[in-house]
Amino acid sequence: MVHITKIAPQLFVNDVTESAEFYRDVLGFTFDRFFGEPAVFVVVDRGEARLLLKTAPEARRPLVSNAATPGGFTDVYLYCDDVIALASELRARGAEIVVEPTDRPIYNGRELHVRDCNGWVLCFGQLLD
């Protein structure tokens, strides 16, 4: 059987340039180029995490987060090794913390929820082994 090695979720965004700069300046991701003129696509990376940001077609606007529904889920789940340190870093960069670091005994983890500039809610999770 073929082994799948990575995943790169795609998020629709309102403005690729603004979003890439937000992910770089506030969330600590990097990117090296935009695709299209004007820019319509960008790949952002932080560590082993990769997200693909693409301009949303008019028919997909306004963007609606899964978290907008009561009891809804976050839009992207990213693993990290220190949620508390990440919360401090992101807070210092001006990130909107939706849920402060919270222990989740159901899976022996800790989570931090952050809203991006498009309204998407990213959950950063840490397994507490």
Residue 71's pLDDT band (boundaries 50, 70, 90)? confident
Phi and psi torsions of 105, nearest 5°? -60, -25
Give pLDDT, residue 34.
Answer: 98
The answer for residues whose C-beta is within 8 angstroms of residue 4's C-beta and 6 or more apart is none
Contact by Cβ (8 Å): 52, 43: yes
| Sheet (strand 121-127) strand order | 76-79, 121-127, 109-115, 96-104
| Sheet (strand 10-13) strand order | 10-13, 49-55, 41-46, 34-35
Model pTM score: 0.95
The amino acid at 3:
H
Mean pLDDT over each residue of the chain, to the nearest integer: 97
Q: Using one digit for the tens of pLDDT, what is the confidence trace for 12-58?
A: 999 999 999 999 999 999 999 999 999 999 999 999 999 999 999 99
Average the pLDDT over 94-106 and give the result: 97
- Domain 10-58+73-127, second-level architecture: Roll (3.10)
Average the pLDDT over 74-92 and give the result: 98
Residue 129's pLDDT band (boundaries 50, 70, 90)? confident
